[in-house]
Amino acid sequence: MSRRTTALDTEHMPPGIPWIIGNEAAERFSFYGMRTILVVFMAKYLYLMDGAGGTPMAETEAIEHFHAFAAWVYFTPLLGALLSDIFLGKYRTILFLSLVYCGGHAALALMGTRGHSSYWLFAGLLLICIGSGGIKPCVSSNVGDQFGPANHHLLTRVYNWFYFSINLGSFFSTLLTPWLLDWYGPHWAFGVPGVLMAIATLLFWMGRHKFAHIPPGGSKFFAELASREGLIALAKLIPLFLFFAVFWSLYDQTGSSWVFQAGQMNCKFLGITWLESQIQAINPILILVFIPLFTFVVYPFMKRFFQVTPLRKIGIGLFLVTLSYALTALVQSWIDAGSTPSIGWQILAFIIITAAEIMVSIVGLEFAYTQAPKNMKSVIMSIFLFSTFMGNMFTSTTNRLIQIPSAAAQQAANANAELPAASRKVPHLLTLPGFDGKVGTADDFVMEYRKDASPELTIPGQAAFDAAAAPIEAAICEHDGKLPPESDLSGTLGTDPWGNPIRYEILNASHFRLISDGPDKTPNTQWDIGLTVELEHPAPAAETSWLDGLHPKAPWLERRSNEIGVALAAPPPATGITFSRHAFSGGQTKLHGAAYFRFFMWLMLGTAVIFVPFAMLYRPKTYLQ
């Protein structure tokens, strides 16, 4: 059966739009469901998947890997766009690579069944990246291809509904998959989004006769790319996309650093205690409200005072992102001081950054399409998505650079690799050379490998740190669990074996750190040593919920730890406050707490200021099919 290759000459909505939007809603459910739980899974679940236990991934490392994945998801669309525009066309590119996408979800759901789970994780994320390369640039431009001169005035409305479908799928998956992960574990939490991806692929195939199938440009693509018109379009749009890159660097942290911040807050809101990753659901529900609000109220109101152009909308959105990060930095400063602020503050930050998303992402998507020459639509859309790659790669690289390696962990890994296999069986002790490189001296580390827990480190001079921790713990118990201010204990906690003062630093309401500069007497290196102390508060009374009958009696993490014999952190005591101390050597971060959020706030503010003269000089030119 022949397929229509041009848009219908109609003033009404094209018939293929419902099928495209239905496909997009299901596909976004699958992607955001997986993405919502990814950073929490890497930090809290991955090390338990193979049955041997191990050491949980540090939060900063999980953020690094999360944004590296998010970056490559937005790099492959450049390759998919070339495949579409030159060889296959949009329809076949979307359909074929959607099958690869389904394979990625299947790999994630199979983690822990056989082989090393890290390999399954890598394979699953790689396949999803490849699949996204065919879907992301082509689906959005496929929407625009359905419109001709008679109905192009509906393009803004349909892109709003397109974004509406994305967030409808995202909202339900953001609520459901954290709950599935908590109670039923990773197989269900990753498997359900995979089923939705398969449904999305089926929906797209079922609507194949409703679409306008714009054929690939072939050699026309290269001719237009090298033409004066194509080069001018690229020269104008690429600098614009750099501003989008900074936006995505900050915005996508709502799925990483904002999640970990939520875990340090009081997550009870509207009478419900939310899981830390479920807070992300506020974004898609706000999108569903804000799209009509901005379309019919905010933009018409703004038009009373000035001409509302796409670039002006984008500029206002960039300043709103700055405001949202100023708020998260303020909230984190309260956490750093030992408070447990309400999650309502982060919800307010979500409201602000979602308003920015409406003005930057939706407007940018439509603007990029209209500014692209006819045979370069998918490529221009992929370059728009490439800005997300650059933003996430910047965030991933930043988190990699601020990590401080652990001298003890590196030496332990080398020592274990050199031991015969029989000697590596737990339990066993390893004595590791310290800063002087010799075993049997005062700066040695000792690593104890136990059957039922993660390896335990003993640092040189640990008695001095234990002595410093004791009065702090006593003061906490005397003040009902409140940590004393850092300024009250400055210079009063003694020194390490090399004469460096021991510093007391509050991490959040339930953790503090005692740290010194160690044998090299230099801060922020792998030789920094100290203790991280966790407060374990009395267990709260169990709350009943209408969801109680829908899940097992114990969360998956608890059931899994019992199954493989690896102990989790000790449960909170029934009465009183207890403390658990864990020694470290390095392994910290150079930029943490409120300083981390302030760094990105200033970055965004500088970007927004520079955008103003750029927007004033930009001269738009619109192209339609």
CA distances from 589 to 231, 303, 532, 545, 596 (A): 43, 47, 13, 39, 10
Q: How many CB atoms lie within 10 A of CB 609?
A: 13
Strand order in the sheet with 445-449: 428-432, 445-449, 456-458
Instruction: Tell me if 418 sits within 8 A of 100, measured CB to CB.
Output: no
**Residue 420: which residues within 8 A CB-CB, separation 6 or more?**
none
| Contact (Cβ atoms closer than 8 angstroms) between residue 120 and residue 107 | yes
Sole residue written with tokens 């018939």:
15
More confident residue, 192 or 2: 192
What mean pLDDT is predicted for residues 576-591?
A: 88
Let me know: does 135 contact 210? Beta carbons within 8 Å.
no
Share of the chain above pLDDT 70, in %: 87
Answer yes or no: is pLDDT of 546 > 60: no
**Residue for token pair 């992102």:** 321
Q: Is the pLDDT of residue 569 over 70?
A: no
pLDDT (0 to 100) of residue 212: 67
Tell me: the pLDDT tens digits for 493-534? Answer: 999 999 999 999 998 888 999 999 999 999 999 999 999 999
Domain boundaries for CATH 1.20.1250.20 within the chain: 17-403+594-617
pLDDT band at 370 (very low <50, low <70, confident <90, very high): confident
Residue pair 603/326 in contact (Cβ under 8 Å)? The answer is no
Q: Is the pLDDT of residue 575 over 50?
A: no
User: Element (H or E) spanning 133, and its range?
Assistant: helix 117-145
At residue 75, the pLDDT reads 87
Band of residue 87 on the pLDDT scale cut at 50, 70, 90? confident
pLDDT tens readout for residues 221-269 = 666 667 777 777 777 888 888 999 999 999 999 999 999 999 999 998 8
- d(Cα 561, Cα 54) in Å, to the nearest integer? 12
Please work out, in degrees rounded to the nearest 5, the angle formed at the alpha carbon of residue 29 by the alpha carbons of 27 and 33: 125
Which has more confidence, 429 or 498? Answer: 498
Exposure of 258 in the CB half-sphere (CA atoms within 13 A): 29
Confidence grade of residue 405 (pLDDT, cut at 50, 70, 90): very high
Shortest CA distance to 387 belongs to which of 601, 615, 163, 137? 137
> At residue 77, does pLDDT exceed 50?
yes
Instruction: Give the whole-angstrom CA distance, residue 374 versus residue 501.
Output: 66
- DSSP code, position 396: H
Q: What pLDDT, on the 0 to 100 scale, is given for residue 396?
A: 96
Determine the pLDDT at residue 207: 74
Mean pLDDT for all residues in the chain: 84
How high is the pLDDT of residue 574? 46
Interior CA angle at 504 toward 503 and 509, to 5°?
A: 160
pLDDT, tens only, 294-305? 989 999 999 999
φ, ψ dihedrals at 176, nearest 5°: -80, -50
Question: Which tokens sit at 502?
Answer: 């021991």
Instruction: Please indicate whether residue 372 or residue 432 has the higher confidence score (pLDDT).
Output: 432
Distances (CA, A) of 587 to 147, 455, 464: 55, 14, 20
Q: What does the pLDDT read at residue 492?
A: 87
CA distance 281 to 289: 13
Interstrand relation of 445-449 and 428-432 (parallel, antiparallel or unpaired): antiparallel
Closest CA to 166 of 353, 362, 25, 16: 25
d(CA 138, CA 94): 7
According to the model, what pLDDT value does residue 218 have? 64
Contacts for 434-439: CB closer than 8 Å, 24+ residues apart: 434/407, 434/460, 434/519, 435/407, 435/518, 435/519, 435/520, 435/527, 436/519
Q: How far apart are CA 78 and CA 382, in angstroms?
A: 5
pLDDT at 564: 76
Rg of the Cα trace of the chain?
27
State pLDDT tens for residues 60-75: 999 999 999 999 988 8
pLDDT at 542: 55
Which of 357, 363, 349, 350 has the alpha carbon at shortest distance from 312?
A: 363
pLDDT of 2 over the 60 cut? no
Residue the block writes with tokens 């019919």: 296
User: Which of 79, 70, 200 has the alpha carbon at shortest distance from 128?
Assistant: 70
Query: For residue range 40-55, what is the model confidence (pLDDT) as tens digits?
Result: 999 988 888 876 666 7
- DSSP E strands, 473-528: 503-508, 511-516
Most confident of 24-38, 147-161, 409-423: 24-38
Quote the tokens at residue 620. Answer: 């738009």
State the pLDDT confidence band at 1, using cuts at 50, 70 and 90.
very low
**How do residues 96-132 score in pLDDT, each as one tens digit?**
888 999 999 999 999 888 878 889 999 999 999 998 8
User: Strands (DSSP E) along 246-384, which ranges?
Assistant: 268-269, 272-273
The span from the CA of 473 to the CA of 475, in Å, is 5
The answer to which of 254-258, 468-472, 486-490, 613-617 has the lowest mean pLDDT is: 486-490
- CA 534 vs. chain centroid, Å, equals 25
pLDDT of residue 521: 93
Least confident of 126-140, 153-167, 284-298: 153-167
User: Rounded to whole angstroms, how far apart are CA atoms 308 and 448?
Assistant: 65
Digit-coded pLDDT (tens) for 322-355:
999 999 999 999 999 889 999 999 999 999 999 9
Interval 312-326: pLDDT, tens: 999 999 999 999 999
Tokens for 622?
Answer: 């619109």
Query: Which of 321, 324, 310 minimizes the C-alpha distance to 247?
Result: 321
Residue 571, pLDDT score: 52
Tens of pLDDT, residue by residue over 185-227, are 999 999 998 888 888 888 788 877 777 666 776 666 666 667 7
423 pLDDT higher than 60: no
The greatest distance separating any two alpha carbons of the chain, rounded to the nearest whole angstrom, comes to 85
Q: How far apart are CA 193 and CA 39, in angstroms?
A: 16
CATH fold of 17-403+594-617: Growth Hormone; Chain: A; (1.20.1250)
